[in-house]
């Protein structure tokens, strides 16, 4: 029973978002290039081998699987990992890391609380200190109450849908059951939390870890590896993917602009950037994302100034330049609504 409860705990964190229409849209996007492409080598892969490893610099790697991109640092005595994706694949993540080093995994940093970034925490908890911003712990511990508040209504909606999705209904039903029973101490939340800034020293490498203005959520963390000159941006980084702006957990389009500016002002122009979703990039790649958010907030401002209602604005707006980004149909209108709510 404990196993089941734990499984559901993670399941629920993974899909704790879909408790309203907008939050369904806020589901973590599928990693566009993270899955193996079906090709000639397809049959040579073990079905569970969904991982792709990309060495960067100074012992820092990017690891693509399912969910938010993982970063990890191999130090002389210890390994530090950024984000844990989902529980079902977390053992595979550990295995993949072990394929490049026999050093123990001692630290896990969560960039924020979404289930595609913290879903594997339980697997890491026995051996790694889990570190994140204060609000990540807060949101993870609040998850059962949120599910009990929003879940039953959402379940009703799902059942009324003309073409109901039995898998989603089953998952949400299980979440609600889990939320009724789970004990706070069973939730694999970070045990070491910080408010504004933290440094971690692993061998000769120093990691600058800081909290940005609320952007994707109000618990966002970025991690800069000084020596390797690599930055992990968590979900402040979406490359050719429409971002999730989780307004229900403090996310904000204007905050996104401020957060990107805050981060880019602190790192060298030639930094290598691991985004939460999409391929490894650089400052130019992040500037494209910034431009998207600026275009969106600009359009919202213009519409509001012209007296257009939110409903009309959201219905009418399109930004064709970004239509080929992954997640445009699912999330663009949600982003537009969040932008409209914020501008004056």
Contact residues toward Zn ion (CB under 5 A) are 114, 235
Which CB atom, from 114 or from 304, has the smaller least distance to Zn ion? 114
Which CB atom, from 136 or from 303, has the smaller least distance to Zn ion? 136
| Count of Cβ atoms closer than 10 Å to residue 289 Cβ | 25
Structure tokens at 215: 């952007």
Which CB atom, from 202 or from 223, has the smaller least distance to Zn ion? 223
Alpha helices in the chain (DSSP H): 2-14, 21-25, 90-98, 115-118, 121-124, 134-160, 166-181, 253-264, 283-305, 310-316, 328-342
Only one residue has tokens 């979404």, namely: 114
Which CB atom, from 108 or from 303, has the smaller least distance to Zn ion? 108
Q: Minimal distance in Å, beta carbon 243 to Zn ion?
A: 9
Answer whether 296's CB lies under 8 Å from 339's CB. Answer: yes
For residue 78, count CB atoms less than 10 angstroms from its CB and return exposed for 0-12, middle for 13-18, buried for 19 or more. Answer: middle
Q: Minimal distance in Å, beta carbon 117 to Zn ion?
A: 6
Which CB atom, from 122 or from 246, has the smaller least distance to Zn ion? 246
Closest C-alpha to 198, from 288, 274, 131, 270: 131
Task: Report the residue closest to Zn ion, judged by CB.
Answer: 114
Q: Minimal distance in Å, beta carbon 178 to Zn ion?
A: 21
Only one residue has tokens 């400052």, namely: 283
Answer whether 124's CB lies under 8 Å from 74's CB. Answer: no
Beta bridge partners of 210: 197, 222
Q: How far apart are the first and last CA of the chain?
A: 51
Q: Minimal distance in Å, beta carbon 253 to Zn ion?
A: 15
Q: Minimal distance in Å, beta carbon 202 to Zn ion?
A: 25
What's the residue count for the chain?
344
Which CB atom, from 59 or from 334, has the smaller least distance to Zn ion? 334
Which CB atom, from 96 or from 114, has the smaller least distance to Zn ion? 114
| Count of Cβ atoms closer than 10 Å to residue 34 Cβ | 20
Structure tokens at 205: 């490498």
Which CB atom, from 328 or from 343, has the smaller least distance to Zn ion? 328
Q: Minimal distance in Å, beta carbon 323 to Zn ion?
A: 22
Answer whether 34's CB lies under 8 Å from 68's CB. Answer: no
Answer whether 121's CB lies under 8 Å from 111's CB. Answer: no
Q: Minimal distance in Å, beta carbon 217 to Zn ion?
A: 7
Q: Minimal distance in Å, beta carbon 111 to Zn ion?
A: 8
Structure tokens at 10: 């993670």
Answer whether 319's CB lies under 8 Å from 295's CB. Answer: yes
């Amino acid at each position: 029973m404990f196993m089941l409860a734990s499984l559901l705990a993670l399941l629920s964190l993974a899909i704790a978002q879909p408790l309203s229409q907008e939050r369904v849209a806020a589901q973590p996007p599928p990693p566009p290039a993270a899955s193996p492409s079906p090709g000639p080598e397809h049959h040579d892969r073990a079905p569970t081998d969904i991982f792709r490893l990309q060495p960067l610099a100074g012992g820092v790697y990017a690891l693509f699987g399912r969910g938010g991109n993982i970063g990890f640092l191999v130090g002389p005595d210890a390994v530090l990992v950024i984000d844990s994706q989902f529980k079902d694949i977390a053992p595979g993540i550990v295995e993949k890391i072990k394929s490049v080093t026999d050093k123990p995994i001692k630290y896990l940093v969560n960039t924020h609380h979404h289930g595609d970034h913290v879903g594997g925490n339980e697997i890491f908890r026995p051996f790694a200190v889990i570190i994140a911003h204060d609000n990540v712990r807060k949101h993870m511990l609040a998850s059962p109450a949120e599910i009990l508040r929003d879940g039953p209504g959402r379940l009703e909606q799902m059942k009324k849908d003309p073409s109901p999705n039995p898998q989603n209904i089953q998952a949400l039903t299980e979440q609600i059951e889990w939320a009724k029973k789970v004990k706070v101490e069973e939730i694999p939340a970070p045990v070491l939390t910080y408010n504004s800034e933290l440094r971690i020293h692993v061998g000769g490498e120093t990691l600058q870890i800081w909290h940005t203005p609320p952007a994707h959520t109000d618990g966002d963390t970025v991690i800069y590896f000084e020596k390797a000159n690599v930055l992990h941006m968590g979900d402040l980084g979406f490359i050719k993917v429409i971002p999730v702006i989780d307004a229900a957990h403090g996310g904000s389009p204007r905050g996104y602009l401020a957060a990107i500016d805050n981060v880019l002002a602190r790192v060298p122009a030639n930094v290598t950037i691991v985004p939460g979703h999409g391929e490894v990039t650089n400052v130019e790649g992040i500037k494209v994302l910034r431009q998207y958010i600026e275009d969106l907030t600009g359009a919202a401002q213009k519409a509001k100034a012209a007296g257009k209602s939110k409903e009309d604005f959201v219905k009418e707006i399109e930004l064709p330049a970004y239509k080929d980004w992954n997640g445009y149909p699912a999330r663009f209108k949600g982003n537009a609504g969040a932008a409209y709510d914020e501008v004056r």
